[in-house]
Structure 1
């Protein structure tokens, strides 16, 4: 469990079926809630060599780029969002280069690779996005109708959803979890993260997670409901909620590694 301040926590768990944890998380926060946070989760591609090393290296490298100052004071939101988008793009490239550098065999057909998801909070303005199928969600305290996923999966399931296939059907289709973009030596040329943003004008949680969690609770409204149930059973702090979400995924089967990074905002 990582929890540098009481309003932010992260946990990465091996799950119940894997022999090692190929996920990695990183976070950096201010002491003042909502002022500044960087939340990162990377999921090693299980079919690649030493994917656990790729995710560790990518999480650290991308966080180092995203923690560089991006103050909003006296800056129009549009200008700041452009700066943030550039930082996310550079973070993805840095993470990809770091993941690639963990490979030791130039002839390896499946060199170390991983996904990338991150959120940056700056004075309660939230930017989130991803490369691959790890996710960022906004879970408002008031109700499920404004719960959203910030970003879009790079996956075959999302391609089906874009073509009108219902979410449940798409996410359970053959090859649904095959990703179309990733970080590492064989990454596609365009690693621009799929971004979305919002101003947190009400209390809620920024949640960054790997598919070890959302495999069992994918839709934003369903995840909102899950968070409320976990609050009732485990407690109100981000550390307690994160632990409860991991317990839920393990109780649901724990088929994959499970990573959850959570920031509580209360504007």
Structure 2
């Protein structure tokens, strides 16, 4: 075993240890619960744009993008555009012709202006419309045509019904050995006082419940538990789905 292989084996052993350490897992859940009270995810920007994601998840996405080398990344839910521009910048570093396709039911004018003036917008295309509307899915399918490696990220409406419909519509676009990433599955694990009263989702009605139903109906995907064991802090427990066939 050479030094590179030895280091890789050490990292794998570290992840095994984190997975088995119930105290660390419990502390991470407590920390995650408490930082959520302070809207922790809102604190970060990527190249000037609000990203509204945990840095830990963005590092995980960087690793996935490097390993997959996608020629198309589809993201539902654009908001301020930070995460889409983050993925675009990683594709820029990789070279080639890869780009990000962002889908949102309402791309607000001020956000669109800032997104389109950003230097990484050259690797970003936007579709405004409901992510599950047939005409939107058809537009996405036109972008997928001819692509060899497609990665999908779901981060729009978080109700069970909507996410399940997204999973059913977008999962066929994901290529083997790539990923279908579903954000905000942690909603199922949050205490009642952290469930937003002004939103239609909550315990029993959220991305995680949709993921579990979807996996019971679709054998192309499996949960990559090791990503969550490695991250400890993530908005997507059970949300990193590897396409295995």
Alignment TM-score > 0.5, same fold: no
**TM-score, scaled relative to structure 2:** 0.34
**TM-score, scaled relative to structure 1:** 0.32
**Structure with greater proportional helix content:** 2
**Structure with greater proportional strand content:** 1
Bigger relative CO (Cα 8 Å, ≥ 6 apart): 1
